[in-house]
Amino acid sequence: MPNIKNAEPQFKMEGYSVPNYILAYGILVNTNLVKSADEPKSWKDLLDAKWQGKILSDDPGRSAAERLFLRFS
């Protein structure tokens, strides 16, 4: 694993490992409301005051299955 040297100290290890859980996050932008040049390019960009009151997020307390059910029901 050549990139292990880039891992944070708590994740460095000898040998190999297999992740048992991966949680992916992303930023979705409504391109009907936000111009391409104004889109946030990183999580840090969302700290800008111009996004205050304009950010939506799933409830992290709900399970993925429940979110899926609510989204498509």
pLDDT in tens, 16-25: 766 656 666 7
The residues near 43 (Cβ < 8 Å, ≥ 6 apart) are 27
pLDDT in tens, 30-69: 899 999 999 998 989 999 999 998 888 766 666 555 555 4
DSSP one-letter string for 3-61:
GGGGS-GGG--SS----S----------TTTS-GGGS--STGGGGSGGGTT------TT
Which pLDDT belongs to residue 70? 47
